[in-house]
Amino acid sequence: MTGAQLEKILKKHDNQSSNILAILQDIQASENYLPRKTLEEVSQRLLVPLTQIYHLATFYRTFSLTPRGRHVVTVCTGTACHVKGAASILNNLERELKVQPGETTTNKEYTLETVNCLGSCALAPLVVIDGTYHGRMLGTTVLSMLKGEKKGASKKS
């Protein structure tokens, strides 16, 4: 993140430490993760201890301290999704993307994640791609959606 980009974010939030969560959200949105150097700069500029910033960054699951892919694919592995085939979907994604849950593809295109429950059990098995919920999925359907994304097509249900 450039100094000018960070300056714009800080200015948007009035350079107030009370807006630290919103500042971290904007950094995450811009960089797809929270770079250490940027967090150190925020700490210095807002006079907020770096440990406090890291506490927030690690407490909220939405934040990542490691680079994430341009697309985030999350597979629900809760009981209903598991029973309806989430493991098969996850295996197909691991094989296709060549990553394990929590990892990002080498080209920084995809990050694969799992979550214990998304609270939409009636849609099981559930996969979330870039924040869009896709219910009653099959492993082949998810892969074709990703291949469509790779070609530039936008497929949302």
The number of domains in the chain is: 2
Closest CA to 155 of 46, 73, 40: 73
90 and 21 belong to one structural domain: no
The structure's pTM equals: 0.73
Q: Residue 121 maps to which CATH number?
A: 3.40.30.10
- The candidate with the shortest Cα–Cα distance to 80, out of 128, 143, 133, 126, is 126
What is the per-residue pLDDT across 138-147, written as a single tens digit (0 to 9) for each?
888 888 888 7
Give me the domain span that covers residue 105.
71-150
Strands 71-76 and 127-129: antiparallel
The amino acid present at 12, given as its one-letter code, is K
Q: What is the pLDDT of residues 84-98, one digit of tens each?
A: 999 999 999 999 999
- Looking at residue 156, its pLDDT comes to 41
Summarised one tens digit per residue, pLDDT across range 50-104 is 999 999 999 997 899 999 999 999 999 999 999 999 999 999 999 999 999 999 9
